[in-house]
């Protein structure tokens, strides 16, 4: 959701040890610009396992990544005097990305996750190489990485290679201010010597699922906030459309004991509590028995998305505890080939989340649409227009939401089922996890926009219910939208800036802060 173009380092560094990295630390480094430092335990373990690789370098027997070529060229033995060339050539040839630059926060997440694996000692790099990598990240130097190049197997090869290329003093980077410059200049300015890679190090720097995992961790942080925002938006819609909150009762929800559903329903009950609008039609004169699915079933859909998020978070936590390379130096100092670089576990949940995002957005758009049809809006003017006919109100805002939802449905098509063999059929099944992550980022942006349009529309509907009074939470959200620069209902205005202002209120957390501030007895989560 966030697209960070500059980094302002924070004073508190994240210490990278030999254990699992915390998801919150990934967000701090990637998005908030926190610095990093390698723990002493990590430096000791890196030194211990590097000795194993250096011993293998003198061995006459072939060892993948140390004295052989790569991929389908693994049967080619490389003589000792050419092994530095081997590592340098690997990085240069694999830094083959194309297309637009990847967001800075994604590259920083990728770098942190690769550094975390280096810190485990399982890769066999030298201490100095790991320290230089950490120094580059700590200084806010972000290599230019491109959109295309990873198949999500044998690691996110091209993206990680562009980072390794910068560590060698080649290619382009952006400094902490966001200025693009040659890597050699940025390293020199930061007092970092370019690294001349030794045996195994080139492979160790590129053989991981760090790009797709970094994007997953960032997506989880964004979606946790957006799913709560979806509950708040649904509550505003239920209230403004004169729906019923009886269906959100805890005893009814407990009949289907999904934890996400229970959490969503609890949020809806809390946000709607004390609403004068809801109270206005609770009496026996109200003949409405049940609402349309987009109102009545919000906890079920939002809850299913929450439970999907929980599953994806569990996968991410396992990956954050992983050390991915091939070959690896095991704790008992064996050097073994493996397939842990395959991105399937991450790719699957990235695709799963894209499905949930599309469905939550689809339900939101249906609620927006109900506001605009006088046959379904329970007394609101057509399209919420000030003077229907002369004014079109929010007619085209719904078009915008519908167009985004249509795009989200296309983005929900899984990437992970589309394997294209590579490397002369040596790598004959790949995960496409990088592409699953890229489309999920786009989908999250779309969800934020669809929810913003619902909130914008529901807030207008709430104003049109005056003099009926909203709940404390919905009133606070409506006021936050007004404070963001969206005036009260009136004749047609230039609508695009109002949509963007509401999107900013969603993505900045202003909407959730407003709702939470009115609910001291309930934690929106």
Instruction: Report residue 101 as tokens.
Output: 């630059």
Distance of CA 441 to the CA centre of its chain: 6
What is the C-alpha separation between 428 and 525, in angstroms, rounded? Answer: 42
Joined tokens for residue 77? 């033995």
The Cα–Cα gap between 148 and 146 comes to 6
Q: Which residues, other chains included, contact 359 with Cβ-Cβ below 8 Å and sequence gap of 6+?
A: 301, 304, 305
Contact 142, 173 (CB under 8 A): yes
- Rounded distance, CA 235 to CA 241, Å? 10
Give the phi and the psi of residue 414 in degrees, each rounded to 5. Answer: -65, 140
Of 45, 84, 51, the residue nearest 66 (C-alpha): 84
Separation between Cα atoms, residue 355 and residue 347, nearest integer Å: 13
Q: Return the DSSP state at 82.
A: G
d(CA 418, CA 435): 10
Q: Which residues pair with 148 in a beta bridge?
A: 98
Active site residue 64: yes
How far, in whole angstroms, is CA 501 from its chain's centroid? 22
Three-state secondary-structure class, residue 180? strand
- Consecutive H or E run containing 170: none
Catalytic residue, candidates 64, 133, 148, 293: 64
Residue 360, CA distances (Å) to 140, 262, 365, 457 in order: 36, 16, 9, 17
**Alpha carbons 222 and 212: distance in angstroms, whole number:** 15
Handedness of CA 97, 101, 105, 108 (dihedral sign): positive
Is residue 195 helix, strand or coil?
A: coil
Backbone phi and psi for residue 148, each to the nearest 5 degrees, phi listed first = -110, 145
Q: Is 520 exposed, middle or buried (0-12, 13-18, 19+ CB in 10 A)?
A: exposed
How many C-beta atoms surround the C-beta of residue 394 within 10 A? 26
Dihedral sign for Cα 287, 293, 294, 295, please.
positive
Listed residue (207, 212, 123) closest to 160, CA to CA:
207
Structural tokens at position 388:
């229907």
Q: Give the residue numbers marked as catalytic.
A: 64
């Amino acid at each position: 959701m966030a697209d960070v173009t500059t980094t302002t380092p924070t004073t508190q560094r994240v210490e990278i040890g030999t254990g699992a990295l915390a998801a919150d630390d990934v967000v701090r480094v990637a998005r908030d610009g926190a610095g990093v430092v390698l723990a002493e335990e990590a430096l000791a373990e890196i030194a211990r396992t590097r000795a194993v690789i250096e011993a293998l370098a003198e061995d006459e027997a072939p060892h993948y990544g140390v004295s052989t070529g790569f991929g389908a060229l693994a049967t080619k033995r490389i003589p000792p005097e050419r092994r530095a060339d081997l590592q340098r050539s690997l990085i240069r040839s694999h830094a083959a990305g194309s297309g637009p630059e990847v967001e800075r926060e994604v590259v920083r997440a990728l770098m942190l996750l690769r550094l975390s694996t280096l810190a485990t000692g399982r890769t066999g790099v030298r201490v100095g190489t790991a320290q230089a990598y950490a120094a580059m990240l700590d200084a806010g130097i972000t290599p230019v990485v491109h959109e295309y190049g990873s198949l999500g197997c044998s690691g996110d090869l091209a993206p990680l290679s562009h980072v390794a290329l910068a560590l060698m003093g080649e290619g382009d980077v952006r400094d902490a201010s966001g200025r693009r410059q040659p890597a050699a200049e940025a390293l020199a300015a930061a007092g970092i010597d370019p690294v001349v890679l030794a045996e195994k190090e080139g492979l160790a720097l590129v053989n991981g699922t760090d790009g797709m995992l970094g994007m997953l961790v960032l997506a989880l942080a964004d979606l946790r906030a957006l799913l709560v925002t979806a509950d708040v938006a649904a509550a505003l819609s239920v209230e403004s459309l004169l729906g019923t909150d009886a269906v959100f009762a805890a005893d009814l929800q407990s009949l289907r004991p999904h934890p996400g559903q229970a959490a969503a329903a609890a949020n809806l009950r809390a946000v709607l509590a004390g609403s004068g609008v809801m109270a206005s039609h609770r009496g026996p004169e109200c003949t409405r028995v049940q609402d349309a699915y987009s109102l009545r079933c919000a906890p079920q859909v939002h809850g299913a998305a929450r439970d999907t998020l929980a599953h994806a978070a569990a996968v991410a936590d396992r990956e954050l505890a992983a050390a991915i390379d091939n070959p690896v130096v095991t704790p008992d100092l064996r050097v073994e080939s493996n397939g842990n670089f395959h991105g399937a576990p991450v790719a699957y949940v990235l695709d799963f989340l894209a499905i949930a995002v599309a469905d939550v957005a689809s339900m939101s758009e249906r609620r927006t649409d109900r506001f605009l049809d006088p046959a379904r809006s329970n007394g609101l003017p057509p399209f919420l227009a000030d003077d229907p006919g002369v004014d079109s109100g929010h007619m085209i805002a719904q078009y915008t939401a519908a167009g985004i939802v249509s795009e989200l449905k296309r983005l929900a098509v899984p990437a992970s089922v589309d394997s294209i063999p590579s490397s002369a059929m040596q790598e004959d099944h790949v995960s496409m996890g990088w592409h699953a992550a890229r489309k999920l980022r786009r989908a999250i942006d779309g969800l934020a926009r669809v929810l913003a349009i619902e909130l914008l529309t529901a807030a207008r509907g709430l104003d049109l219910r005056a003099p009926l009074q909203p709940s404390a939470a919905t009133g606070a959200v409506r006021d936050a939208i007004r404070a963001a620069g969206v005036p009260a209902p009136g004749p047609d205005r230039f609508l695009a800036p109002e949509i963007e202002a509401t999107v900013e209120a969603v993505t900045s957390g202003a909407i959730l802060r407003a709702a939470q501030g009115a609910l001291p007895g309930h934690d929106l989560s």
